[in-house]
Amino acid sequence: MSDGPALATELASALEDLRNSVADAESAFGNGHLKRSTRDDVVELALVRGMGVFEEFVGELFVLALLGRLGAEVIPLVPSASAEEANLLLVGADVDSSARYVSWMPFKEKAIRRAGRLLTASQPFGRLANRSSEKNTLADLTLVRNRVAHDSVVAREKFEQLALQKGYGHSRAADYLTSSRGGTQEILLALATLESIGKGLADPSEMNSRTILSSEDPYSETTLAPPGSYECKRNAHARANTLYQSLGDCDQCPRPDRCDTCGRRAESKTLWVRI
């Protein structure tokens, strides 16, 4: 087993322990052997711990990427000779240069942006760049985690907005996390999603990661797209992409009409779907 999948297996094991803790607390609460407040404490701490081990995983995976140990598709722009050297690079490339430690959330602003500075085509973290489902989930979980860990006015307000949007209670984070979606509690969905994201990021093959992660958003004409086959969403014209690069406009689509007032053509916008 390569380093990436082994790291993902460790993450999955830690998250499974947390799921078992939640299940035990829920069972004890349901049987009248545990106060609701205690059950709620367990659920909230499970999320905080889950997000913590996920961020630890992301940091360790980034170090492996800089060491060139995640397979042939992950190429560091500045290879590191040791984990210590890789960690120094991470601190130096932090978006917030005044930070005393490397943070990974919000994932889009921290992990993906940092990957763009240090890794070719941001891989493997760029696998989430065009997947709104995972990015939105991580953003939501970060807000809920912050409500537990940082009892500030800002943290409470952002959490309450999120909970109200979803129709969940918002007195405390546990109200959100014990709410059900599709018959499954949000805390269990959260831990399962962290596990699947970990597996998707750690897989040596970007193509294989497509079977683990959610469906991609359509690619605009300027979005960096992975190698593969793409189809114009408007007319189904196919195009092969051999490198990490933007796909540009579809040359098979008719040009937009000129404006009757100014005589200019509307800007052509193509959406590509990977097939």
Q: Is 33 helix (H, G, I), strand (E, B) or coil?
A: coil
Pairing of strands 271-274, 180-181: unpaired
Give the number of domains in the chain.
2
Q: Can you give the pTM of this predicted structure?
A: 0.91
Please identify every stretch of the chain with a pLDDT value under 50, giving residue numbers as ranges. 1, 97
Same domain, 196 and 241: no
Same domain, 39 and 143: yes
**Cα–Cα distances in angstroms (integers) from residue 170 to residues 97, 147, 156, 161, 163, in the given order:** 34, 10, 9, 9, 6
Same domain, 88 and 194: yes
Backbone angles phi, psi at 24, to 5 degrees: -65, -45
Residues of the domain holding 263: 218-275
Same domain, 132 and 252: no
- Out of 153, 187, 209, a domain closes at 209
pLDDT of 1 = 45
Angle subtended by helix axes 3-30 and 186-202, to nearest 10: 170
- Out of 209, 236, 264, a domain closes at 209
Same domain, 188 and 266: no
